[in-house]
Structure 1
Amino acid sequence: MTDLHARTSDDHGAESYDQRLAAEAAVEPDPVVASEVKKETQIIAIYGKGGIGKSFTLSNLSYMMAQQGKKVLLIGCDPKSDTTSLLFGGKSCPTIIETSTKKKLAGEEVEIGDVCFVRDGVYAMELGGPEVGRGCGGRGIIHGFELLEKLGFHEWDFDYVLLDFLGDVVCGGFGLPIARDMCQKVIVVGSNDLQSLYVANNVCSAVEYFRKLGGNVGVAGMVINKDDQTGEAQAFAQSVGIPVLAAIPAHDDIRKKSANYQIIGTPGSEWAPLFEELAENVAEAPPVHPTPLDNDGLLGLFDGDVTGRNVVLTPATPAAMRGKSFTPKASLEVVYDEA
C-alpha cells in the first residue's frame, strides 16, 4: 500500500494528502462471491440470542445426525466456548485460539488432534476468543477460521458442518459465514420472547443485505426452543417467510437433562422423534429469502401489555433537565433592522 505520509502537496498541483485519503476511502471492498455453490458438504450457520439454547439444540442435532450415519463436524464460534460442553458431558475442550497461542510460544505447529475431538461419531471443536477485556471477539472468529484453513478446512470430508454463532453481536467477525458465502444456509434459534425474535430478525436482515450484494446464503428456517405454545415465534416465522424446522417444548425433563449435560437426542429415547424430524428438516430445507420485519411489525407480534408499545414518547424540556436553577437566556442572534 502506498505510504500516505510519504508525499505532501505542493504548489505545482501534486495530489494532496486529503485527496489521497478520499480516493482510498472510495475504493469498494471485494465483492461477495456470487458463484454457484458446488460443495457436497452442507455448511450451516446457526444463529440466536445468547442463552436461547443453540448449544443444546446443536449438540442433540449433531448427535442424532451421527447416529443416522452422517459424518458431522460441530464448530463452536462463540467466545464463551460452550457449544461442545453438552456433547462432552460438561467437559471443556481446548480452543483453537488458546492452543494456537500456546503452540506458537513453544515454537510448535497446531495439529488437528490438539483441537478436534470425537464422541460417538460427532467431531467437534471450539474456536474460542480473547480473554475478557483483552481483544475483539469478532476478530477472534476471523483468526480462528484462518487457522482452520491452515489445518485443511476446505479439504475435510463431512456431510454436515454446523457452525454455532452468537446472534446478538453484529460485528463483522460474527457475520463472516453470511458475508463471505462460507455457508449455504442459516438457521435461527428463537423462543416466544421479544429479544430472541429481535435477534432472529436481525439475522434475517443481514442475510438479505448480503444477498443484495450478490451473496448466495439464505435462511433455511427456525428452531423454536422452550416452546410454551404462546405462538409469537411461530407468527414471526410466518411473517418473515421461513419455515419452522422444529418446536422443542418447554418441558421439565428436557431442562433437567440439559442442566446435567445429558444428550436427549439419542435413538429410541423419548425425544428421539423430535430430533430425527429436525435432522431431516435441516438436511432438506432449502435456503429462502426472508422478509425482515420493521420494529413496529416485530412489536405487533406481541400484546401491548407485554411490550409496552402503547407508551407515548414525551419530549424533554430544558427547564426540566436543569431543574430550579433554569433561567431562560436571551438569544445571541443578531437581528438587523430592515433597510
Structure 2
Amino acid sequence: MNAPSNPVIFMRDERLKAEAAIEPDPVPTSPAAKTTQIIAIYGKGGIGKSFTLANLSYMMAQQGKKVLLIGCDPKSDTTSLLFGGKACPTIIETSSKKKLAGESVAIGDVCFKRDGVYAMELGGPEVGRGCGGRGIIHGFETLEKLGFHDWGFDYVLLDFLGDVVCGGFGLPIARDMCQKVIVVASNDLQSLYVANNVCSAVEYFRKLGGNVGVAGMVINRDDGTGEAKQFAEHAGIPVLATIPSNEDIRRKSASYEIIGRPGTQWAPLFEELATNVAVAPPVRPKPQTQDQLLGLFSAEVTGRNFQMEPATTFDMVGKHELIKPTLEVVYDAS
C-alpha cells in the first residue's frame, strides 16, 4: 500500500502504530495502597465525645498511626483537651478574616499538631448570627480547597453533635463522606435517644443507597446500670469500649490532661478502643421505637406508667362546647 500523500497524516499514522506496539504495564501484584478510614463520632452535647476523641487520637498516634482530628461542633472544643485548654483558630473564622484581607487560607493557619496528632476546628457562627449546619458545609468546602482528599492520613476522626438534626451535621452520613459512624452515650435516656436518632439516620440513608454503617458504641461515664449496653445489643451494634464513671478521670479531664498515654493507668482502655475502632466493620443498625427505648429503663425513671387524659373544650375556654348541626350537603347515591 502506498504511503498517504499528506505527510502530516503519514506521521500521525506512524505515531499511532508505534504507540500500539508498546506493551501495557503488568497488572500490579503488590498489596493495595493504604486507604484512609474516615470515622464520624456522634453523641449528645456534653456526653464526652471530645474527651474520648482527644485520648483516642493521641493513643492512635502513639501506636504509629497518622491521625487527623477535626472538630465539627460549633462550640469548637474538640481540640481543647488535646492542646491543654488552648483555643484552636477555627476554619470559618480564619477564612472570613483572610477573605477580608484578600488572602487565601493555608494549612498552617488552621491545622496544628501535638505528638503526632494533627487537629483543626471547623467552628461555627455566634449565637443568633447564622446556621451551624451551614457553617459545617462551608468548613468542608474550605477543606476541599486545601486538598482534603489528597491528604495521606491513616485515620480522620470527625466530632459531630448528634442532637442537632439540620443538614450540615448529617453531612458525613448523607453524602457518604465517612465509612463508619461511632456513637458515644451513657446510661441515661437523653444520650441513648440521640444515639438512636443517629442509628435511624444511618438506616434511612442505607435504604436510599448509602454505604455508611455504625461501627459501634463507646459507653462513657458508665455507672454499671447497663442501659447503654442493652441498647447496643438491641440495636445490633458492638460496644467498643466502656469508660467508667471515675473521679480520677473526671479530675484529669477537667484539667485538660491526656489520660490515654502508653504506660499509664488508663492506657489499656484506650489501646483496646483504638484496636476496636480500627477493625470494627460498619453494620446496619436496628433503630428502636420510642417504646422500645423507654423499655430499657424502669417506669419509675421514665414515668411511662402515667396515663394521658385528653383535654376538653371546657378546659380550654371555660365553657362546654356548643354542638352545631353541620351545613354539609350530603347527596344520595344515584
Into which bin does the TM-score normalised by the smaller protein fall?
0.7 to 0.9
Counterpart in 2 of 1:281? 276
- For residue 333 of structure 1, report the CA deviation from its aligned partner: 2.6
Change (3 A) 1:265 1:315: same
Q: Distance in 2 between matches of 1:288 and 1:281?
A: 14
Counterpart in 1 of 2:326? 333
- For residue 336 of structure 1, report the CA deviation from its aligned partner: 8.6
Please report the TM-score for the alignment, with normalisation by the length of structure 1: 0.86
Residue 244 (structure 1) aligned with residue 236 (structure 2)? no
Counterpart in 2 of 1:152? 147
Q: 1:108 aligns with which of 103, 109, 116?
A: 103
Q: Distance in 1 between matches of 2:295 and 2:323?
A: 46
Deviations 1:129-148 (A, max 9, x none): 01110110000000000000
Counterpart in 2 of 1:30? none
Q: 1:216 aligns with which of 211, 217, 220?
A: 211
The percent identity for this pair of structures is 79
Counterpart in 1 of 2:3? none
Counterpart in 2 of 1:307? 302
Counterpart in 1 of 2:230? 235
Name the aligned partner's letter for residue 260 of structure 1. Answer: S
Counterpart in 2 of 1:9? none
Deviations 1:67-99 (A, max 9, x none): 011000000000000000000000011000000
- For residue 334 of structure 1, report the CA deviation from its aligned partner: 3.6
Segments of structure 1 that go 5 or more residues without pairing to the other structure are 1-37
- For residue 221 of structure 1, report the CA deviation from its aligned partner: 0.2
Name the aligned partner's letter for residue 66 of structure 1. Answer: A
Q: How does 1:91-170 map to 2 (within 5 A)?
A: 91-170=86-165
Deviations 1:134-189 (A, max 9, x none): 11000000000000000000000000000000000111110000011100000000
Q: How does 1:46-65 map to 2 (within 5 A)?
A: 46-65=41-60
Change (3 A) 1:209 1:39: farther
Residue 316 (structure 1) aligned with residue 311 (structure 2)? yes
Q: Distance in 2 between matches of 1:318 and 1:223?
A: 48
* Conserved 8 A contact 2:313-2:321: no
Segments of structure 2 that go 5 or more residues without pairing to the other structure are 1-32
Query: Whose radius of gyration is greater, 1 or 2?
Result: 2
SS at match of 1:47: strand
* Conserved 8 A contact 2:34-2:154: no
SS at match of 2:169: coil
Q: Distance in 2 between matches of 1:142 and 1:125?
A: 15
Q: 2:252 aligns with which of 238, 257, 272?
A: 257
Change (3 A) 1:331 1:283: same
Name the aligned partner's letter for residue 322 of structure 1. Answer: V
Deviations 1:86-133 (A, max 9, x none): 000000110000000000000000000000000010000000001110
Q: Distance in 2 between matches of 1:337 and 1:85?
A: 70
- For residue 292 of structure 1, report the CA deviation from its aligned partner: 0.4
Q: Distance in 2 between matches of 1:338 and 1:289?
A: 53
Change (3 A) 1:212 1:330: closer
Q: Distance in 1 between matches of 2:148 and 2:282?
A: 23
Q: Distance in 2 between matches of 1:139 and 1:76?
A: 15
Please report the TM-score for the alignment, with normalisation by the length of structure 2: 0.87
Q: How does 1:286-301 map to 2 (within 5 A)?
A: 286-301=281-296
SS at match of 1:224: strand
SS at match of 1:139: helix
Structure 1 vs Structure 2 CA RMSD: 1.6
Q: Distance in 1 between matches of 2:223 and 2:271?
A: 21
Deviations 1:16-59 (A, max 9, x none): xxxxxxxxxxxxxxxxxxxxxx9710000000000000000000
Counterpart in 2 of 1:187? 182
Counterpart in 2 of 1:31? none
Change (3 A) 1:328 1:176: closer
Residue 81 (structure 1) aligned with residue 80 (structure 2)? no
Name the aligned partner's letter for residue 114 of structure 2. Answer: R
Change (3 A) 1:205 1:107: same
Name the aligned partner's letter for residue 35 of structure 2. Answer: E
SS at match of 1:234: helix
